[in-house]
Chains A and B, each alone.
Chain A
Amino acid sequence: TKPVTHHDEL
């Protein structure tokens, strides 16, 4: 898994 930041979340 790639540690992606969910900056699309609120």
Chain B
Amino acid sequence: MNLFRLFGDLSHLASILILLHKIQTTRSCRGISFKTQALYVTVFVARYLDLFYDWVSLYNFSMKVFFISSSIYILYLMKVRFRPTHDPSIDTFRAEYLVGPCVVLALIFNYKFTFPEVLWSFSIFLESVAILPQLFMLQRTGEAETITTHYLAALGAYRALYIPNWIYRYFSEGVVDPIAVIAGLVQTALYVDFFYVYFTKVLQGQKFELPA
């Protein structure tokens, strides 16, 4: 464990807490893509099922349990509790266009052709693009509540912080994980546009609005 990874994980944790806070306080899931949230459940379940047979640490175990349970809880909030506030007509990105190619990529690129390893690869690939329905929705509506942008910023910062973590691990442990690194770079790159508007507008106290 190093500070980059710790802060990356804490940022990931924070993003979920911000999202839960947004939904609970506004009693609405307006502006949140259900498809992206459903993809995250898929990602966490596919990757973290090893918590039943592979012990890493208490930290690792608790985080996995938290990510799986909170993401499922968010789906419940969106589909059941605050269902009327979710508008599927603007959440139109075709998620199957993401899942399909990720399955194919995982079958080709994995560290071992076993079920858990292919699932692991699949989850890494899917995570890298799972934010696309959300970003697409943002693009369509052209604006977002400030709290939603904080959620996205924390989520983007998480994978961005993993990059220095991998560089650190390369030098300190001599290990490199090409699948995670390449997918992580893609994942972070997808946030570039968002971060530009976030830094130049939201953090200056303005509303998140995309140029028409």
What is the interface of chain A, defined by CB distance below 8 A to chain B? 1-10
Contact = CB atoms under 8 A, between A and B. Distances in A.
Contacts of A8: 56-57, 60
Interface of B: 5, 9, 12, 50, 54, 56-57, 60, 63-64, 67, 111, 120, 162, 165-166, 169-170, 174-180
Given A10-B64, A10-B67, A5 B174 contact: no
B175 A1 contact: yes
Nearest to B59: A10
B111 A5 contact: yes
Contact of A4 (B56, B57, B63, B175): B175
5 smallest CB-CB distances across A and B, nearest first, come from A4-B175, A6-B177, A5-B111, A8-B56, A1-B176
Given A2-B175, A4-B176, 19 more contacts: A1-B175, A1-B176, A3-B111, A3-B177, A3-B178, A5-B111, A5-B120, A5-B180, A6-B177, A7-B54, A7-B56, A7-B120, A8-B60, A9-B180, A10-B12, A10-B60, A10-B63, A10-B64, A10-B67
B162 A9 contact: yes
B175 A6 contact: yes
A1 to B, nearest CB: 5
Contact of A5 (B57, B60, B177): B177
Nearest to A8: B56
A6 B63 CA distance: 16
A6 B124 CA distance: 12
Contacts of B177: 3-6, 9
